[in-house]
Amino acid sequence: MKSKIDRESDIGKTLGIDQATGHRKHQKRWLIVAFLAIAGVTTAVVWKRTEKSNSMQYQTEKAQRGDLTVTVTATGNLEPTNQVEVGSEQSGIIETVEVDYNDHVKIGQVLAKLDTSKLEAEVLQSRAALASVRAKVLQTEATIKETRNALSRLEEVRKLSNNKAVSQHDLDAAQAALDRALADKAGAKATVNQAQAALEANETDLSKAVIRSPINGIVLTRNVEPGQTVAASLQAPVLFTLAEDLTQMELHVGVDEADVGQVKEGHEAHFTVDAYPDRNFPARITQVRFGSQTVDGVVTYETVLNVDNSDLSLRPGMTATAEITVKKVRNAILVPNAALRFTPPIKEKNDPSDSRSLVSKLLRRRPRSWSKRRKDTTANNKQQRVWMLRDGQLVSITVTTEATDGSMTEVTRGDVKPGMALLVDTLRAGR
């Protein structure tokens, strides 16, 4: 048996089997050691990054002292202070047009004329009718005179004959004839008045065939040409649009219902138009109308602003964007609106009894603590809270706010000083 074992050992040495097996075991031990070293380094790096990602950094902006201007923005169109649409009450064919666009006109100046042939004939006919009824009046007067004389003669004869020559029936007939003559005269006079009124109406129609300017101003639009037929029925057609004075204009804007409570008569404003984008035009509110207008579900209130247009650079119909100054605050403490909206996150507390394995801690999971936000509610809407860092700790400051321009807000009460760094946003470190 011993000789057999020695013989197998000699064969293994001859073939080199024992040396190969030992070499493989040595490599395996080194591989295990290298793997453990890499796993340890990776674990340390990941753990360090995880711990670092849980630390928070904050973006800050400083409180400041300065002036605050609260404005309300509204859009609208420019209009003349007095704009008149000139039409025609008469139907007919336009014979001449005396003015053109941008012409300056005066009160009573002829703008256009209609063909007056038919109207002149109607005037002549009315005059003839008036003359006829006036002749009728003269005829009735002659009849009255005749019947009155006949009645007088009968009365005289009856008196001289001691009531025997003329009967009472004849006297009554003569009196009735006189009364009829007087009635005919009254009817003729009424007919005269009727004919006179018809003549005056026709003469008025004839005068209206000449379109005249009712104001001193400028021609904005001309909607008629010579030879055009004008048909005036229930509504007079608009032939010309005149503006009285373009050196003084009005800006009509629609103020949103949320802002109309701040807008008052006398507030100053400035506006821009597309024609002069780099120029601000001053204006002043003269009227805030109570009537509302609803456009696309938005309720607005028409507000009128007075505009000085001495250089005639502005034109009717231009679209303007106005900023109405509703409040000015001087030398106030101002904080960014972002600081008033900021609320710090609530971090999840570390649980010392957490027995999760290292691998489970290294696995990524959905964060829960960063989605939780504190809600600060107060009874007074003007009481708000801002945050700052003091010795690395979050400190809240309760403040009383007033006016805001959309980016900065006035603070009237609270331990906020100019230059104080206030938190406005949260940044996660390592990103």
369: pLDDT strictly greater than 60: no
The mean pLDDT value for 121-135 works out to: 93
Which segment of 36-45, 46-55, 116-125, 283-292 scores lowest on mean pLDDT? 46-55
Q: Contact at 8 Å (CB) between 51 and 430? A: no
CATH topology of domain 84-113+212-244: OB fold (Dihydrolipoamide Acetyltransferase, E2P) (2.40.50)
- CATH superfamily membership of 71-81+246-328: Efflux pump adaptor protein, beta barrel domain (2.40.30.170)
Q: Where are the domains of the chain?
A: 2-51, 57-66+333-428, 71-81+246-328, 84-113+212-244, 116-208
Q: State pLDDT tens for residues 389-419.
A: 888 888 999 999 998 888 999 999 988 999 9
Q: State pLDDT tens for residues 242-298.
A: 999 899 999 999 999 999 999 999 999 999 999 999 999 999 999 999 999 998 899
| Surface-to-core class of residue 252, CB atoms within 10 Å of its CB (0-12 exposed, 13-18 middle, 19+ buried) | middle
Give the pLDDT band (50/70/90) at residue 376.
very low
Residues pairing with 250 in the sheet: 79, 306
- Kindly tell me the sign of the dihedral angle through the C-alpha atoms of 44, 45, 46, 47: positive
Tokens of 68: 């605050």
pLDDT of residue 22: 53
Strand order in the sheet with 217-222: 83-87, 238-243, 217-222, 104-105
Of residues 6 and 192, more confidence is placed in: 192
pLDDT of residue 370: 36
Identify the architecture of domain 57-66+333-428 in CATH: Beta Barrel (2.40)
Token look-up 């807008």 returns 263
429: pLDDT strictly greater than 60: no
Q: Distance (Å, rounded) from C-alpha 370 to C-alpha 348?
A: 8
Beta-carbon contacts of 71 under 8 Å, excluding residues fewer than 6 positions away, are 323, 324, 325, 326, 405
Of residues 176 and 371, more confidence is placed in: 176
Q: Distance (Å, rounded) from C-alpha 422 to C-alpha 428?
A: 17
The most confident of 8-22, 165-179, 404-418, by mean pLDDT: 404-418
| Surface-to-core class of residue 258, CB atoms within 10 Å of its CB (0-12 exposed, 13-18 middle, 19+ buried) | exposed
In eight-state DSSP terms, residue 365 is -
pLDDT of residue 379: 42
337 φ/ψ angles, rounded to the nearest 5 degrees: -65, -30
Q: Contact at 8 Å (CB) between 269 and 283? A: yes
Give the pLDDT band (50/70/90) at residue 365.
very low
Q: Distance (Å, rounded) from C-alpha 127 to C-alpha 125?
A: 5
Whole-number Cα distances in Å, 260 to 56, 168, 251, 304, 396: 43, 91, 16, 13, 35
Q: Contact at 8 Å (CB) between 263 and 255? A: yes
